A = this chain, B = another copy of it.
Amino acid sequence: MIRVLLAEDQDLVRGAMAALLSMEPDIEVVAEIDRGDEVLTAALQSQPDVALLDIEMPGVDGIAAAAALRGGLPQCRVLMLTTFGRPGYLRRAMSSGATGFMLKDAPAAELAVAIRRTARGERVLDPQLAAQALSDGDSPLSSREAEVLVSAVDGSSAADVARRLFLSEGTVRNHLSAAIQKLGARNRMEAARIAREKGWI
């Protein structure tokens, strides 16, 4: 029996996935949670073999949850699950200790197969996405540039961002300008869009 922990914030989707897995004779869902920050405690209690983690979750995201899990329960493998095929997501998931990485638009029949492979410690990942992640390289943004960019995308002015991050307005504009150039964008919004698509912010 493979013991599975299921972390996914949308109740309907989580319940449906549990139903899907309940049809497999060798898979048992031993825990269901809807927040990233409850993954570790639930895992310590239920001792799963595989944790199926969504990336987009309230609390902390699935990537941070995977890192916590590797620290607290290293024998538990992680299969990351996400809506968005962003190369940076895959990169960050892998370096936070995930064994597999699966997209939600993969065939439903693949899920059980992927779980079994993950339980055996085999790598599960989309070849296209892996190639993309390798060719894109790592994020060219410095941590400060990324921080300023995320803080500016919601329509805040440079002055707002400066107040929020305790910087001068000129510095904020300089960081944004650097980010815009590094990403080959024409303004902050385009830069944010590109960085989001790559999974860099």
**Chain A contacts to B: CB under 8 angstroms:** 9-20, 23, 81, 83, 102-111, 153-155, 157, 185-193
For residue A190, which residue of chain B has the nearest CB? B155
Q: Contact: A104 with B10, CB < 8 Å?
A: yes
Q: Are B107 and A11 in contact (CB under 8 A)?
A: yes
Residues of B within 8 A of A190 (CB): 154-155
Say how far A105's CB is from chain B's closest CB, in angstroms: 5
Q: Report B-chain residues with C-beta under 8 Å of the C-beta of A103.
A: 12
Whether the pair B186, A12 counts as a contact (CB closer than 8 A) is: no
In angstroms, how far is the closest chain B Cβ from the Cβ of A91? 22
In Å, the complex CA distance between A83 and B9 comes to 11
- A189 and B15 alpha carbons, distance in the complex (Å): 36
30 contacts between A and B (CB under 8 A): A10-B83, A10-B104, A11-B104, A11-B107, A11-B108, A12-B17, A12-B105, A12-B106, A12-B107, A12-B108, A12-B111, A13-B17, A13-B104, A14-B108, A15-B108, A15-B109, A15-B111, A16-B19, A16-B20, A16-B108, A18-B108, A19-B23, A20-B20, A154-B189, A155-B186, A155-B188, A155-B190, A155-B191, A157-B187, A189-B189
Inter-subunit contact B157/A11 (CB<8 Å): no
Report the nearest B residue to A153, measured CB to CB: B189
- Chain B residues with CB under 8 Å of A193's CB are 154-155
Q: Are A13's CB and B15's CB within 8 A?
A: no
A86 CB, nearest partner CB in chain B, Å: 15
Alpha-carbon separation in the docked complex, A23 to B16 (Å) = 11
Pick the most buried of A13, A14, A103, A157: most chain B CB atoms within 10 A of its CB.
A13
A145 CB to nearest B CB, Å: 17
